[in-house]
Amino acid sequence: MKRRKGGFSMIEVLVSLVIICIGVLGMVALQTRSVALSQDSVQRSNAMVLANELLELMRSNRDQVMASDKVKIDGAYIKQPGTNFRTKALDAGKTCLTRDRSAGGETVAGQDLGCWLNQAKALLPVTDALIASSFAVCPASKVPLLPAGPTDPGIPLTVCENTARATVMVVIAWQDVSNDQLNCPAGICYYALRSEL
Decide if 69 contacts 166 (C-beta within 8 A): yes
Give the β-pairing of 66-67 and 167-175: unpaired
Mean pLDDT, to the nearest integer, of 81-91? 92
Share of the chain above pLDDT 70, in %: 91
Q: Write down the pLDDT at residue 193.
A: 92
Q: List, for residues 17-52, the tens digit of each pLDDT value.
A: 999 999 999 888 888 777 777 888 899 999 999 999
The whole model's pTM is what? 0.80
Mean pLDDT, to the nearest integer, of 99-122? 94
Least confident range from 65-69, 147-151, 159-163, 193-197: namely 147-151
Distances (CA, A) of 116 to 42, 82, 88, 128: 18, 18, 12, 14
Q: List, for residues 138-155, the tens digit of each pLDDT value.
A: 998 887 775 555 555 567
Where would I find the H helices in 61-170?
Answer: 105-123, 128-134
What distance in Å separates the CA atoms of residue 6 and residue 9, rounded to the nearest whole number? 9
Whats the size of the chain, residue-wise? 197
